[in-house]
Amino acid sequence: MAPSAATLVEAPLQSTVENIETNFQPFYVLHKASSRKNSRKSNLCGKSRKRTKLSPSGPNGIENLDNEEPDGSQLEHLRMECLELVWSKLETTIKDVLRDTNVQVFDDISRWVYESFAAIRSSGTPSSSSATRPFPTFTRAECKVLFTGLVLTKNMEVVDDLLTFEELGFHLKSHGCHVASLSSQELSAKSSIGGCIRSLLRQLLKVTVDAADMFILASWYREQGYYEKPVVVIVEDIERCCGSVLSDFIIMLSEWVVKIPIILIMGVATTIDAPANVLRSNALQQLCASKFILGSPAERMEAVVEAVLLRHCCMFSIGHKVAVFLRKYFLNQDGTLTSFIRAMKIACVQHFSMEPLSFMLARLLVEEENMDGNCASFLEVLPKHASDLLSDSRYSLVEGTDNNLGNILSELKRWRKKWSIVVLCLYQVGKFGKVQLLDLLCEALDPQFFKPLTSENSSRLQQEQGTSFSSSYELPYQFSSRKDGYIYQVVRKVRDLPAEFLHQLLMSWEKITGCVPEIHQNVKDLLLAFKLGNGKSSEKDIADLSKRHASRNGLFVKNSKPIMEKTESFLNSLVREHMRPVECIPFHELICFKDVRKLQLALIGDPRRRIQVDLLEFQKIIKCTCCSENMNSLLPCAHDSTIMYSLAQEHGDLINLHDWFQSFKRVISHPQAKGNHRTKQCSTPKKRKDKPTVERKSNASIQARFCTAVTELQIAGLLRMPSKRRPDYVQRVAFGL
């Protein structure tokens, strides 16, 4: 089925792929069109051929490159190219996923917009000449309501939704509405109503008028074709708007709504009663609200994770600790998709810049896209160099396998396919039990669970399976899930599934496992057994079941018991056999990013703590000899603010200014420090160098330096200036440490 179709799709592409080393882009763009499923299926049949070709034969046009030893910069260049390729693929995947999640709601919204437009129109449109008259037209109060769509974004942070609203704007525009959006800055108390109207005019009329008013909008609307299109005004986040300005704006719009059919769309980040909290009641009663619900951030996150880490064919993956960190970061710190995507990007960049052999990913990618594999030649450039790198000590070599690059890569690929299938299968079950994909993923990536098999286990396993393992080194290890872990829960969950869910599950498995024939066969068998087990009841009955399964459940329990056990044992074996955490795969370093510290540092800067630590341990940064030698005593050559801050450590929350000044003075004019005068040049401040030879610094200059340092500390947010009540004390602002 698939292969022939796939080759047809791929065939015309091959010519373009020939010159791939000069340019990635056309290759990539052309391939975007062919569906992912196709290319994945095609890999199956192409694999055998590919492997024979993978031996370093260096085909067309690369021999000359092959001769000269590639230097580091060339490698780096390759890695950067690979990074670009991988990241651009990931980015488009993420964008597609996000668009898909929103498309349904967007359609709903645009349908609703047109319904409301029809409702406005049906209540009687005034003649076009009266539209610009300054006095209100007489209609019933019901006609003066402003149709309002409340879009619940379900996330307190609005960062993700800015993009969503932008896309909503495009969507509505493409459906023939006039769209303008107002940000919270435009609805702030500072810019008031004039700012709102000006911004509306700027977006709709594309003119900037300094005396903006609604008359302009009305006459523009008449010019555009009176009552042909609705005008949609999007307010991105109602919580951040100034309530009184928004209320005034709404009341004004409602006076004009008969003349200009304006429809409001407002983003609500928190609860549905946010508009009631923000707006005044007389504005509130002008609204005729409908609500729309966007996917929750957790749902969107799941979709993105599934697409990027499981389904996506680019092999880049993350280690267990990184996954745990990302999960925690999402839950605890910053529940936005934006930060997750940023984290993925950072991970990608770090991986490709640190891992010498990471450029091999590109080769995997190319193979993935192109089943024949003969065009992946550009990456054959460095087989020798690569194997040199491979034999480097950083990769743990495994006996029993030849460390041939081709074998390694195809092994990695096979692993990846099976692993992602297992996780996806588990996720399908987990959907019924509300298990989050990220939790599952974290557990599936944990190398701790991949333990040596005890003898009794293995014998039992072999009894159960009756099959021999394909390769020798797989035998002694297996994935044993924790008793309280998510995977264990999920596997148990299968037992309790009602029949109709089980059927759904099996169907979804069949779809997922399509590309690994041995698993696929098992699923098919299960599905067959399910149908037989349910005997008389045909598939239609199963569909019916959803309606009245409560009543018929009793009947099914008996029938489906064995099949449930079978399914469970199948899932168990799936986990045991194919679930191998990435960090337990030889040469996983090629595709896996593990360095969680780097990611942490990049994402959680923790600037407050940093400032304080740096002030106290300034020697590490300045690296002057004088201070590094005697770490524990304060030297006058240190920077004033560090001296002050170190001295402040001796005080409590309140610091007596006089005491502080005295101790500062003592440190500054320390007699021992004179010996170090020569090395003073290494420290930065210029003032200090002014009169190094003058023995006694004047009190005034010390006082001035003291004041400067206090101000600096205050600016850094470590101090609070003296209050009126206690003028001789400053307070330490001591949070965060």
User: Interaction with other proteins in 296-325: which residues (CB under 8 A)?
Assistant: 296-298, 321, 324
Q: What are phi and psi of 177, to 5 degrees?
A: -110, 155
For the segment 478-507, give every residue that binds other proteins (CB under 8 A): 482, 484-485
Closest contact distance (angstroms) between CB of 50 and other proteins is 39
* Interface pick for other proteins out of 9, 284, 527, 657 (rule CB under 8 A): 284
Verify binding: residue 614, other proteins, rule CB under 8 A: no
Q: How far is Cα 579 from Cα 450, in angstroms, rounded to an integer?
A: 9
CA torsion sign for 582, 588, 590, 593 is positive
Write out the two tokens for 465: 């399976």
Q: Would you count residue 108 as binding other proteins (CB under 8 A)? A: yes
Shortest spacing between CB 338 and other proteins, in angstroms: 13
* Residue 509, helix vs strand vs coil: helix
Residue type, 111: R
Q: Which helix (H) or strand (E) holds 209?
A: none
Is the four-CA dihedral 368, 369, 371, 376 of positive or negative sign? negative
Question: Of 172 and 375, which has the nearer Cβ to other proteins?
Answer: 172
CB of 154: closest distance to other proteins in angstroms?
A: 4
Judged by CB under 8 A, the chain residues 329 through 368 that form the site for other proteins are 329-335
Distances 365 to 39, 67, 635 between C-alpha atoms, Å: 11, 25, 58
Closest CA to 170 of 221, 89, 99: 99
Candidates 26, 70, 433, 717: give the one binding other proteins (CB under 8 A): 717
Three-class DSSP category at 24: coil
**Closer CB to other proteins, 289 or 475, in the complex:** 289
In whole angstroms, how close is the CB of 176 to other proteins at the nearest point? 15
Determine which residue in the list 24, 27, 165, 292 makes contact with other proteins, applying CB under 8 A.
292
Q: Write out the two tokens for 403.
A: 């460390």
Q: Answer yes or no whether residue 720 interacts with other proteins by CB under 8 A.
A: yes
Nearest Cα neighbor of 147 from 260, 224, 225 is 260
Stretch that binds other proteins, among 216-224, 377-385, 458-466, 556-564 (CB under 8 A): 216-224
Any idea what the Cα angle at residue 194 is, between residues 189 and 197, rounded to 5°?
A: 115
Considering only 51, 222, 345, 651, the residue that binds other proteins (CB under 8 A) is 222
Binding-site member from 275, 498, 581, 586 for other proteins (CB under 8 A): 275
Going by the DSSP 8-state scheme, the letter that residue 610 receives in this structure is: H
Size of residue set near other proteins by CB under 8 A: 110
Gap between the Cα atoms of 688 and 702, Å rounded: 10
Question: What distances in angstroms separate CA 467 from CA 416, 463, 470, one per listed residue?
Answer: 22, 8, 9
Inter-residue contact 372 to 10 (CB < 8 Å): yes
The two tokens of residue 510 are 């069949």
Q: Name the segment binding other proteins (CB under 8 A); options: 36-44, 287-295, 634-642, 663-671.
A: 287-295
Closest to other proteins by CB, 320 vs 578, is: 320
Whether 410 and 50 have beta carbons less than 8 Å apart is answered as yes
Q: Is 328 a binder of other proteins (CB under 8 A)?
A: yes
- Work out whether 256 is an interface residue with other proteins (CB under 8 A): yes
Q: How far is the CB of 318 from other proteins (least distance, A)?
A: 16
Q: Which is nearer to other proteins, 193 or 527 (CB)?
A: 193
Q: Which of 1, 64, 72, 225 binds other proteins (CB under 8 A)?
A: 225
Contact between 122 and other proteins (CB under 8 A)?
no
- In the bound state with other proteins, the residue whose beta carbon lies nearer, of 197 and 382, is 197
Query: Could you tell me the two tokens for 675?
Result: 């010996």
Tell me if 264 contacts other proteins by CB under 8 A. no
Distance from C-alpha of 289 to C-alpha of 398, rounded to nearest angstrom: 65
Stretch that binds other proteins, among 170-178, 199-207, 550-558, 700-708 (CB under 8 A): 199-207
Q: Quick check: 229 and 178 in contact, CB under 8 A?
A: yes
- Nearest distance in Å: CB 76, other proteins: 32
Q: In the numeric block, which tokens belong to residue 450?
A: 């991949």
> Is residue 205 involved in binding other proteins (CB under 8 A)?
yes
Contact string (CB under 8 A) for other proteins, positions 127-146, x = contact: -xxx-xxxxx-x-xxx-xx-
Q: Which of 247, 238, 234, 232 is nearest to 273 (CA)?
A: 238
Q: Single out the residue of 43, 97, 86, 583 nearest to residue 306, CA to CA.
A: 97
Angle made by CA atoms 490, 492, 496, in degrees to the nearest 5: 105
Q: Which residues pair with 146 in a beta bridge?
A: 287
188 near other proteins, rule: CB under 8 A: no
Nearer to other proteins, 220 or 395 (CB): 220
d(CA 487, CA 571): 10
**Binding of residue 714 to other proteins (CB under 8 A):** yes
Residues 431-470 close enough to bind other proteins by CB under 8 A: 442-443
Write out the binding residues for other proteins, residues 153-172 only, by CB under 8 A: 153-158
Per CB under 8 A, the list member of 78, 274, 424, 584 interacting with other proteins is 274
Only one of the segments 266-274, 460-468, 497-505, 545-553 lies at the binding site for other proteins (rule: CB under 8 A); that segment is 266-274
301 or 622: CB nearest other proteins: 301
Phi-psi group of 717: left, alpha or beta (phi > 0 → left; psi -120 to 50 → alpha; rest → beta): left
Q: Which is nearer to other proteins, 480 or 619 (CB)?
A: 480
Nearer to other proteins, 19 or 219 (CB): 219
The residue among 227 and 509 lying less far from other proteins, judged by its C-beta, is 227
Binding segment toward other proteins, per CB under 8 A, in 49-57, 292-300, 368-376, 429-437: 292-300
Closest approach, Cβ 157 to other proteins, in A, equals 6
Min dist. Cβ of residue 483 to other proteins (A) = 11
Give the shortest CB-473-to-other proteins separation in angstroms: 28
| 384 neighbors 63 (Cβ within 8 angstroms) | no
Lay out the site mask for other proteins across 232-251 (x = CB under 8 A, - = otherwise). Answer: -----x-xx-------x--x
- Shortest CB 573 distance to other proteins, Å: 23
For 391-423, letters b (16+ CB in 10 Å) and e give eeeebeeeeeeeebbbebbbbbbebbbbbbbbb
Task: Please tell me the distance from the alpha carbon of residue 6 to that of residue 371, in angstroms, as a whole number.
Answer: 9
Name residues contacting other proteins, limited to 587-606 (CB under 8 A).
604-606
- With b for 16 or more beta-carbon neighbours within 10 A and e for fewer, the 614-624 pattern comes to ebeebbeebeb
- Alpha-carbon dihedral angle through residues 599, 602, 608, 609, given to the nearest 10 degrees: 40
**What is the residue whose two structure tokens read 């599950």?**
505
Residue 721 touches other proteins, criterion: CB under 8 A? yes
User: Rounded distance, CA 638 to CA 629, Å?
Assistant: 13
Is 510 one of the binding residues for other proteins (CB under 8 A)?
Answer: no
Label the pairing between strands 477-479 and 450-452: antiparallel
Among candidate residues 162, 164, 121, 159, the one with its CA nearest the CA of residue 143: 121
Nearer to other proteins, 244 or 559 (CB): 244
Instruction: Report the distance separating Cα 220 and Cα 227, nearest Å.
Output: 12
**Residue 92 vs 139, nearer CB to other proteins:** 139
Name the residue nearer to other proteins (CB basis): 323 or 637: 323
Least distance to other proteins from the beta carbon of 284, Å? Answer: 5
Question: Residue 272 or residue 397: which is nearer to other proteins going by CB?
Answer: 272
Interface residue with other proteins, options 394, 609, 623, 689 (CB under 8 A): 609
**CB of residue 667 vs other proteins: minimum separation in angstroms?**
26
